[in-house]
Amino acid sequence: MKLLFEISKKGHFCDLLPELDVPEAMPAEDLARGIALDLPELSEVELSRHYTRLMKRTFGVNSGFYPLGSCTMKYNPRINEDMASLQGFRDVHPLQPVETVQGCLAVLAETEKALCEITGMDAVTFQPAAGAHGEFVGVMLIKAYHRSRNDLKRTKIIVPDAAHGTNPASAAMAGFTVVNIPSNAHGCVDIEKLKEAVDDETAGLMLTNPNTVGLFDPNILEITQIVHDAGGLNYYDGANLNAVMGIVRPGDMGFDVVHLNLHKTFSTPHGGGGPGSGPVGCKAILKDFLPECQVINDGNKYLFEKPAQSIGNVKAFYGNFLVVVRALTYICTLGSEGIRDAAVQAVVNANYMRCQLSDYYDVAYDEICMHEFVLTLQDIKDKYGVTALDVAKALLDNGIHPPTMYFPLIVHEALMLEPTETESKETMDEVIEVFRKIRVVIETDAASLHDMPKTTPVRRLDEVSAARNPRLKY
Ligand SMILES: *Cc1c(COP(=O)(O)O)cnc(C)c1O
């Protein structure tokens, strides 16, 4: 495909900006650029075709099945976009006086209330722009809490080995030492190892439940109690709340702080489309440390307030506001029963696929799962030389986006599937049939699988060279 610069033709143009309605002001001479800006020149139709071509080459949940485990690629209802494009939400400026944007502040306040209800927390900040960003804020809150109590020796954060890679990274970025603990035979927290790991230097534990292999930890209350008894706080990685929303709440499981990914669970655009939103909820003990833009109501109107011992800002203003509008639309569309139903359906769908696929592939932890499950192709690799990557590429040729691959690291040759609640039984049956056919090819013509994909814009990429010698310029 050609770049905009390559299809540019001198003299072509389109008026994308409205007419100037303020006096034109030129920058001071010493600030003005000396050479003209090199911009592509295109007409509106050329521009539109370029992006339509790009769009057709992109795979999204609107193109087909997208079972990306630990990423919740659910369908995003169009009504979210309608709400986010209302002028009163879209055409506002962050520096406008609060009296003129009361509706926008009400959106933040209402969404905060809903998310507190869903998570069992007492306050929420919308500043973080992604899940990992939220994790960083969450561990900074834990740090601020211990500091405020002059409990300065708490420098360690415990993270299980099955955790999302962002957990240890966020803890390390916040200046903590990461203590890794191994999982037990069910992929859950090993209680004895946790007891050995906690001491008076423990600042907290970071955990996701259901965990990364899709299982709900039956010992969750004991786990959070062990950390609390040692003086630490519990952080809940709620990037994927799809299995539990409306059913159980992190706050009731003993967690003190949680981040959510609106771009996973709450049906806002995810991947490519961005931007994201990773709001952080916390219990009252951490509320005073939140970033500076908390919305309050003084009885007459909404205002922004800076919490007393705020950790400061992690993003300009109040985060990606229009993403919050979409999430609130989703929450209001579903209502409390609908949210619960979505979680139930997500779990039913995952278990349906797990049971059906277990006829053809090994399931890493073959027990009732939550919103996702993990296949392991280690035996297939040993017997037929076909890897998880080969199967992922074969799926591409069938119009299916591959599952998450080679994650979590504790499962070899992993394929992690999350169908989500928005897929029908018929769609899942079609996908199961594709998996079955690929299983037949594994036994009859394994070599052909190394050659896939054949129908995509680019064939199999040399991933080693791409990682070792990246060419970062076109
Ligand atoms: C996706 C995910 C994250 C990170 O979220 P980003 O928005 O990609 O930063 C963290 N933890 C878990 C469990 C996730 O699935």
Q: Does the beta carbon of 261 sit less than 6 angstroms from any atom of ligand 1? A: yes
Contact 202, 154 (CB under 8 A): yes
Give the CA distances from residue 235 to residues 108, 141, 174, in Å, rounded to whole numbers and listed in that order: 23, 10, 14
Supply the DSSP string of 256-320, one letter for each residue: SEEEE-TTTTT----SSS------EEE-GGGGGGS-S-EEEE-SSSEEEE--TT----SSSTTS-
Q: Does the beta carbon of 320 sit less than 6 angstroms from any atom of ligand 1? A: no
Enumerate the H helices of 131-219 as residue ranges: 131-148, 166-173, 191-197
- Nearest of 348, 338, 365 to residue 266 by alpha carbon: 338
Report pTM: 0.93
The predicted pLDDT at position 451 comes to 94
Give the number of the atom of ligand 1 that is nearest the alpha carbon of residue 70.
15
Give the number of the atom of ligand 1 that is nearest the alpha carbon of residue 212.
13
Give me the residue label for tokens 């690929």: 438
d(CA 187, CA 251): 23
Checking phi first, is residue 267 left (phi over 0); if not, alpha (psi -120 to 50) or beta? left
Sign of the CA dihedral running 447, 450, 454, 455: positive
Burial class (CB in 10 A: 0-12, 13-18, 19+), 414: buried
Sign of the CA dihedral running 314, 178, 278, 129: positive
Distance 383 CA to ligand 1 centre (A): 34
Strand partners, 294: 305
d(CA 238, CA 245): 10
Residue 79, amino acid: I
| Encoded tokens for 42 | 């295109």
Give the CA distances from residue 451 to residues 167, 360, 394, 423, 464, in Å, rounded to whole numbers and listed in that order: 36, 21, 9, 29, 17
SS3 of residue 349 by DSSP: helix
Q: Does the beta carbon of 265 sit less than 6 angstroms from any atom of ligand 1? A: no
Burial class (CB in 10 A: 0-12, 13-18, 19+), 18: exposed
User: Which letter does DSSP use for residue 237 in this model?
Assistant: E
The predicted pLDDT at position 272 comes to 66
The predicted pLDDT at position 15 comes to 83
- Nearest of 426, 242, 217, 212 to residue 341 by alpha carbon: 242
Checking phi first, is residue 231 left (phi over 0); if not, alpha (psi -120 to 50) or beta? left
d(CA 431, CA 347): 17
Give me the residue label for tokens 């295109």: 42
pLDDT (tens place) for every residue of the chain, 474 residues total: 899 999 999 999 988 788 899 999 988 989 988 898 889 999 999 999 999 999 888 888 999 999 999 999 999 999 999 999 999 999 999 999 999 999 999 999 999 999 999 999 999 999 999 999 999 999 999 999 999 999 999 999 999 998 999 999 999 999 999 999 999 988 899 999 999 999 999 999 999 999 989 999 999 999 999 999 999 999 999 999 999 999 999 999 999 999 999 999 999 988 665 699 999 999 999 999 999 999 999 999 999 999 999 999 999 999 999 999 999 999 999 999 999 999 999 999 999 999 999 999 999 999 999 999 999 999 999 999 999 999 999 999 999 999 999 998 889 999 999 999 999 999 999 999 999 999 999 999 999 999 999 999 889 988 899 899 988 887
Give the number of the atom of ligand 1 that is nearest the alpha carbon of residue 240.
15
d(CA 240, CA 448): 36
The predicted pLDDT at position 18 comes to 86
Query: Which residue's CA is the nearest one to ligand 1's atom 6?
Result: 131
Query: Which of 72, 159, 166, when mutated, tests ligand 1's pocket best, judged by the most ligand atoms within 8 Å of its CB?
Result: 166
Q: Does the beta carbon of 387 sit less than 6 angstroms from any atom of ligand 1? A: no
Q: Does the beta carbon of 334 sit less than 6 angstroms from any atom of ligand 1? A: no
Pairing of strands 177-181, 156-160: parallel
Distance 367 CA to ligand 1 centre (A): 24
Query: Which of 211, 237, 374, when mutated, tests ligand 1's pocket best, judged by the most ligand atoms within 8 Å of its CB?
Result: 237
Q: Does the beta carbon of 276 sit less than 6 angstroms from any atom of ligand 1? A: yes
Distance 197 CA to ligand 1 centre (A): 25
Distance 53 CA to ligand 1 centre (A): 30
Contact 215, 238 (CB under 8 A): no
